[in-house]
Amino acid sequence: MAAAAVYKIRKDRIPKAEDLFNPYNVGARPFLKWAGGKGQLLDTFQELYPRQLIRKKIKTFYEPFLGSGAVFFDIAQKFGIEGAYLYDINEELVLTYKVIQKDVSKLLDFLFRYQRNYSKLEKKQRQKFFYDQRMNYNLQRFNIDYNKYSDHWFPRAAQFIFLNRTCFNGLYRVNSKGEFNSPAGDYDNPTICDEQNLLAVHQVLQIAEIKKADFKEIVSDLKARSFVYFDPPYRPISKTANFKAYSKEGFAENGQIQLARLFRQLDKEGAKIMLSNSDPKNNNPADNFFDDIYKGYNIKRVPARRMINSVPEKRGIINEIVVTNYSIA
């Protein structure tokens, strides 16, 4: 993209820390649309968090399947936690979080140009622009060092956000080669550069350690008086609803079983733990998969709207399963 004057953040738009951490003024929201995002369940989750978190006795939070971080943003701003460990296996996602954490103004500079250039285009030109960016994004992934923070990360993060905000349904999907392959969306006025929210996100991320990691790394990071929220890729509710492609690695049934083992291990170490997943009983009332692997823990079923289904009529209300190792009032 053509160079432009450096984007200046308006000082009156930078949120103050005391405003952000005021429980009645939740300022930072997820900046990505993400499959399985928990934004719609936050009100339900308020009733399911451990008492110690609500009473601000818990100081450290872990979210090893971060995605758009809906639960992290909610908890970080309401319950006075002092440290958060956020992991995801998706390196593009993690790169983007790190850029927002460290260099939000440089990111805004690129996003502002995306917003300006894209808004000027006609519908057909927008599609072309999207597919050009998508191709460039897929080609450039071989030139990025995901382990070493650098100036190359700023345009990469901006391109990731641009594609997320303008692709069909905001669905981040990669094929087995790791190529992002979601088609263009059809939005009149997509918000690509949400300056106010990204500044708030930047502030909230200052308490976080963010890393590209497998969920099992939590074992070596776990501290006393912690709350862990696990939101792994869904176990498909039917053979056709098998969305699982956040990354080329996928997450097989064996992953669910390893996670259940880890849940028991962390329970023994004293962490408060909550886990959500799709309820297989939506399709087959006799399927006891989660009831079996989480036997002995509290299992609650809560209604949720499922968006990930290529057939719009099938995006209905279904149950999600919530497992906790503490009793819920």
Ligand X SMILES: C[S@@+](CC[C@H](N)C(=O)[O-])C[C@H]1O[C@@H](n2cnc3c(N)ncnc32)[C@H](O)[C@@H]1O
The residue ranges that bind ligand X (CB under 6 A) are: 34, 36-38, 64-65, 67-68, 70-71, 87-90, 214-215, 231-233, 246-247, 251
Shortest separation between residue 62's beta carbon and ligand X, angstroms: 11
User: Which C-beta is closer to ligand X: that of 176 or that of 189?
Assistant: 176
User: Which C-beta is closer to ligand X: that of 172 or that of 294?
Assistant: 172
User: Which C-beta is closer to ligand X: that of 299 or that of 308?
Assistant: 308
Helix (H/G/I), strand (E/B), else coil: 230: strand
Burial of 141 (C-beta count, 10 Å sphere; 0-12/13-18/19+)? middle
Helix (H/G/I), strand (E/B), else coil: 162: helix
Shortest separation between residue 171's beta carbon and ligand X, angstroms: 12
**Residue 60, φ and ψ in degrees, nearest 5:** -125, 135
Shortest separation between residue 248's beta carbon and ligand X, angstroms: 10
User: Which C-beta is closer to ligand X: that of 19 or that of 209?
Assistant: 209
Shortest separation between residue 61's beta carbon and ligand X, angstroms: 13
CB-closest chain residue to ligand X: 67
Distance CA 148, CA 170 (A): 27
User: Which C-beta is closer to ligand X: that of 112 or that of 234?
Assistant: 234
Q: Which residues of 103-132 are buried (b: 16+ CB within 10 A; e: fewer)?
A: bbebbbbbbbbbbeebeeeeeeebbebbee
Shortest separation between residue 183's beta carbon and ligand X, angstroms: 20
Closest CA to 28 of 239, 203, 212: 203
- What residue type is assigned to position 240 of the chain? T
